[in-house]
Amino acid sequence: MALVLQHRLDEGANINNSIDVIVREINSATHHVKFEIVQDANSTFAELTPGSEEYVGNIHFSPLWRDFRTGKVRVAYIAPREYAILKRVYPPPN
């Protein structure tokens, strides 16, 4: 599963301001997800080095935004920086 995240300040903005991450672990009880950033999708996120262990963290899925019918989920990224909007969930490339 890959997540498309968008910076909180760009909520509702163009989906091109996004980064791809690969989910490594999901805790269904707490709705926390361990992920790894795999590529930069926009120069805005150039400081986020692809594959860097420094940017592996947890995402908390807000229950208000967990809509499995549409695949849209609202998330909050804990440290080192805050990213908030999960625009869609889609299969990773083959």
Question: What are the φ and ψ backbone dihedral angles of 8, each rounded to 5 degrees?
Answer: -55, -40
Quote the pTM value.
Answer: 0.30
The tens digit of pLDDT for each residue in 1-10 reads 344 444 333 3
The tens digit of pLDDT for each residue in 39-79 reads 444 333 323 333 333 333 333 333 333 334 444 333 333 32
